[in-house]
Amino acid sequence: MSTTAAEVSAPNEWVRRIAGPIRGVINVLFSVALTFLGLTCVTFFIGRIIPIDPVLAIVGDKASRATYDRVANEIGVNLPLPVQYWRYLNKVLHADFGVSLITAHPVLEDMTRVFPATMELALLALFVGTVFGIPLGVVAATHRGRWQDQIIRFGSLLGYSMPVFWLGLVGLLLFYAKLGWVEGPGRLDVTYDDIVPTVTGLITVDSLIAGETDVFWNALSHLVLPASILGYLSLAYVARMTRSFMLGQLRQEYVLATLAKGLSPFRVVWVHALGNVWVQLVTVIALTFGSLLEGAVLTETVFAWPGLGLYMKNSLFNADLNAVLGGTMVIGVVYIFLNMLSDVIYPLVDPRARSRR
């Protein structure tokens, strides 16, 4: 039985179509694995550079030499560095970050408990920074050099310049102590503790699920000030980057061509030009979210917010190395996940990225 050329080429065409996506998946997995390996190397050697003796942190400075040596052998600090790293990598791959010296609980259990508070804070801050930052960046770009641009750039510069702990203290003094518009430090008033069962770990969401509107409004009143301060910092970055991207697009020939054809300036700017910078903005937003998780340490300290940042600060001050390295590893993994998520979102916001795959 003879085989036509079309019948032969059909399987080859099918193989070529699936080969591209498979190569893309393999490249992404390899990149993630390599990045994760580098992250474990960094956190491991940070633990060796920090001037904290992990043995003394466990046994105390009044322990005998015999006790010190026994604990040192148990945790393996006397082993060669490659062996120590291999043991550390094996534990991390099994989600074992050790036991916290402060709480006497596994570090992963502690971080599971405190991470939702930081996530809730960062999500609202990202919402503020994105919803206001992108339009402000577009306005600044379309009014380049005029008073609108100067005001927005000045506000962005303030967001970069002012320390977050100073903004937090001023915010507490003004909006909590003087005006009484918001609640003070903490995540909830004491009277509302343990009323809402934990479902997502986000109190505002869990209180709505439970139908406890009083708890919701109290939690939101505690949340709005620290989230607004973090959101202002992210707004400054998002607005600045949006302005830069939009200036590049507004110089393109297609903008002049569409305007010459009679298309409204509003549609040209807010639909066509802004649509062409969404791929870059996705990366900016993802990195902003990661930086909010990482940079919440000072904000959570000022507002006594029981999240990952405050947990890591207390751990560092108490020489709890397992908790510090565990928190660092979690933030690094979040960055890796956000980069992967950005790669997934790119084809959804830009058909050109979809066609290149």
Same domain, 62 and 123: no
Provide the percentage of residues in the chain whose pLDDT is more than 70.
Answer: 87
- Helices 213-250 and 147-161: crossing angle in degrees, nearest 10, is 120
Give 244-277 pLDDT, tens digit per residue: 999 988 888 888 888 777 778 888 888 888 888 8
Reported as a single tens digit per residue, the pLDDT across 78-122 is 778 788 888 888 888 888 888 887 888 888 888 888 889 999 999
Residues 70, 172: one domain? Answer: no
Examine the domain organization and report whether 88 and 126 are in the same domain: no
Confidence band, pLDDT 50/70/90 cuts, at residue 24:
low
**Tens digit of pLDDT for each residue in 126-171?**
999 999 999 999 999 998 889 988 999 998 888 878 888 888 889 8
* Statement to judge: residues 175 and 234 lie in one domain: yes
Provide the β-strand partners of residue 99.
106
| Helix, strand, or coil (residue 106) | strand
Q: What are phi and psi of 287, to 5 degrees?
A: -65, -35
Asked if residue 340 is part of any domain, the answer here is no
One domain for residues 50 and 144: no
184 belongs to a structural domain:
yes
Does residue 120 share a domain with residue 242? Answer: yes
Query: Looking at residue 186, what is its pLDDT?
Result: 87
314 vs 4: which has the higher pLDDT: 314
Whether 312 and 248 map to the same domain: the answer is yes
Same domain, 214 and 279: yes
169 shares a domain with 70:
no
d(CA 221, CA 350): 38
Alpha-carbon distances of 157 from 83, 145, 315, rounded to whole Å: 48, 16, 33
Give the structural domain span for 131. Answer: 109-319
Residue length, the chain?
357
Give the Cβ contact number of residue 83 at 10 Å. Answer: 11
Are 275 and 83 a contacting pair, CB within 8 Å?
Answer: no
pLDDT of residue 8: 46
Write down the pLDDT at residue 4. Answer: 55
Q: What's the mean per-residue pLDDT of the chain?
A: 82
Residue pair 183/189 in contact (Cβ under 8 Å)? The answer is yes
Q: How far apart are CA 126 and CA 180, in angstroms?
A: 25
